[in-house]
Amino acid sequence: MKLCYSAIGIAVACLAPAGSAGQNAPASDPVIRRIQAEGMERSQVYRLAQTLSDSIGPRLTGAPSLKAGNDWLVSQYRTWGIPARLEQFGTWKTWRRGLSHIDLIDPRVRSLEGTMLAYSPGSAQPLQGEVTILGDAADSIAFQRWLPAVKGKIVLMSPPSASCRPDVDLQQYALLATLAAIRAERSAATAGWTARIERTGYNSRTLPAQLENAGAIGVLTSTWSGGWGVNRIFRARTERAPMFDVSCEDYGLLYRLAERSQKPVVRLSAEASWQGVAPMFNAIAEIRGSEKPNEYVMLSAHFDSWDGASGSTDNATGTVTMMEAMRILRTVYPKPKRTILVGHWSGEEFGLLGSRAFAADHPKIVSGMQALFNQDNGTGRVINISTQGLVNAGAHFTRWFSMMPPEVSAGITLQTPGRPGTGGTDHAAFICYGAPAFGLSSLDWNYGAYTWHTNRDTFDKVVIDEVKNNAVLTAMLVYLASEDSQRVGRERATLTDPRTGAVTPWPECPKTARSWEENTR
């Protein structure tokens, strides 16, 4: 192992790549060897990931598929002889997605690529109307004068892109002048549109309601990720008018037709229904400790997803990593020294709701936590772990890594002491208490451009070998943390602002929202 330094001066330990000088010797611990054999030779990663992605599908908070997935989790653990349960932590409005479609009717016929946004209102019958562009008003008073013009129409509420070619494509083929022109046009369009919305007196969250109140029968957006054919699919902000996100290419088509007074007409089919209020659950499984049952090593991954595709890399991969690690541990390490828990959290996409609720509801587990390992950024092999501002945690990781086979641990950068996470994923729900909770950060695999919250987050994007390695790595970390003769220390580093050098406080744990109403205030 060698010391490196990050861009902001944090010391990091870099594990040498496989086959390089100074590589760790092969693991001698028989349990470590059995973990590797079980995870690599008898893996269930493919079966679990395929079922979760293709059969259960996306797991939107409040959708029936999330509860079906929760039940599947508990059933899987019980078939492996691992006690599992659902813990209710709140309630949520239940929304069921039905069939949806968007078609251009005039000036020509074309089926458009678009997705009804989560929680969109539905319509008993297809809706048809002329497409219009959000008005470019001088100020909020002028916008109010313009608003009646949307009655009976479908409103475009996003800027178009000058080109739907990804930057990597433009950089490869375009002349420098062409590349500069397209980038300038994109930048100007984004800035101009931001100013246009600001002048309405509303923002992108509150504006759709104003449009439907003025009589708009539908609202269209386009949240292009910058990748070929990829859009981010989030949630609607209307009560009566259906909202769709439209592909970059088809949105540009509609925008150009409307901009040039060619009167595009679109038909929306939008089946969706609200079905009351239902409980929200976390799925918890446990292998009880034999010597220190009140000390805990925890596996962690959020289970909910957005529903533009299948939720495969966000976060079926993290879910399956933890499931497979638990299966391996139950097989080769059935009587751990410390209690091993796994948490599959709901509501992460709305602010870590499930994990924050669990931490608040289980202070004894938080205080007795030896370590928590969370994974939530795609299908890639783990390449980075921060010790989250805990000054003594690095020594434990260094020792644990030294006991692993090189092909499992090689290439991981250990940031010490790092900084505590403040949000974004579920270990932040525990590190704010000072508990030793760590994120297992993965190789990108174009996660940001192609699969994070997009219409392309599907099973084929899962790299099975990488997830298998992550499950084996996680199982080894859990085993070594469970057997460690010492507790992972909670001494906190002094945090400073890297720009000013001023001392900054440890992140506080916020109050947990436990309902749709509390979360959307």
Q: What is the pLDDT of residue 520?
A: 78
| Residue 446, preceding peptide bond in cis (omega within 30° of 0) | no
The whole-angstrom separation of Cα 341 and Cα 110 is: 52
Q: What is the pLDDT of residue 408?
A: 95
pLDDT surpasses 80 at 24: no
* Closest to 60 measured CA to CA, from 273, 241, 303: 303
Q: What is the pLDDT of residue 2?
A: 39
Q: What is the pLDDT of residue 26?
A: 55
The whole-angstrom separation of Cα 327 and Cα 322 is: 9
257 and 381 within one domain: no
Per-residue confidence band for 189, with pLDDT thresholds at 50, 70 and 90: very high
pLDDT surpasses 90 at 152: yes
pLDDT surpasses 50 at 221: yes
The whole-angstrom separation of Cα 155 and Cα 147 is: 11
pLDDT surpasses 70 at 153: yes
Q: Which tens digits make up the pLDDT trace of 85-142? A: 999 999 999 999 999 999 999 999 999 999 999 999 999 999 999 999 999 999 999 9
295 and 260 within one domain: no
Q: Which tens digits make up the pLDDT trace of 275-324? A: 999 999 999 999 999 999 999 999 999 999 999 999 999 999 999 999 99
The whole-angstrom separation of Cα 316 and Cα 296 is: 24
Would you say how long the chain is, in residues? 521
What does the mean pLDDT of the chain come to? 94
| 511 located within any domain | no
Average pLDDT, integer, range 232-238: 97
**pTM for this prediction:** 0.93
Q: What is the pLDDT of residue 20?
A: 34
Helix (H, G, I), strand (E, B) or coil at 131: strand
The whole-angstrom separation of Cα 114 and Cα 18 is: 44
* Burial label, 470 (beta-carbon count in 10 A; 0-12, 13-18, 19+): buried
208 and 251 within one domain: yes
Strands 84-106 and 265-287: antiparallel
314 and 252 within one domain: no
448 and 356 within one domain: yes
324 and 250 within one domain: no
210 and 311 within one domain: no
Phi then psi dihedrals of residue 334, to 5 deg: -75, -15
What residue type is assigned to position 429 of the chain?
Answer: A
We report the CATH number of the domain holding residue 365 as 3.40.630.10
246 and 298 within one domain: no
Average pLDDT, integer, range 59-83: 97
The whole-angstrom separation of Cα 492 and Cα 110 is: 59
332 and 193 within one domain: no
Q: Which tens digits make up the pLDDT trace of 245-255? A: 999 999 999 99
171 and 25 within one domain: no
| 349 located within any domain | yes
Interhelix angle for 317-332 vs 30-41, to 10°? 130
Q: What is the pLDDT of residue 22?
A: 34
321 and 262 within one domain: no
Judge whether 435 and 369 are in contact, CB under 8 Å.
Answer: yes
323 and 433 within one domain: yes
Q: Which tens digits make up the pLDDT trace of 421-437? A: 999 999 999 999 999 99
Q: Which residues contact 482 (CB under 8 A, 6 or more apart)?
A: 289, 297, 333, 336, 337, 338, 340, 370
Q: What is the pLDDT of residue 162?
A: 87
We report the CATH number of the domain holding residue 155 as 3.50.30.30
**Number of separate domains in the chain:** 2
Structural domain harbouring 212? 98-271
The whole-angstrom separation of Cα 69 and Cα 443 is: 27
Cα angle 58, 61, 64 (rounded to 5 degrees) comes to 65
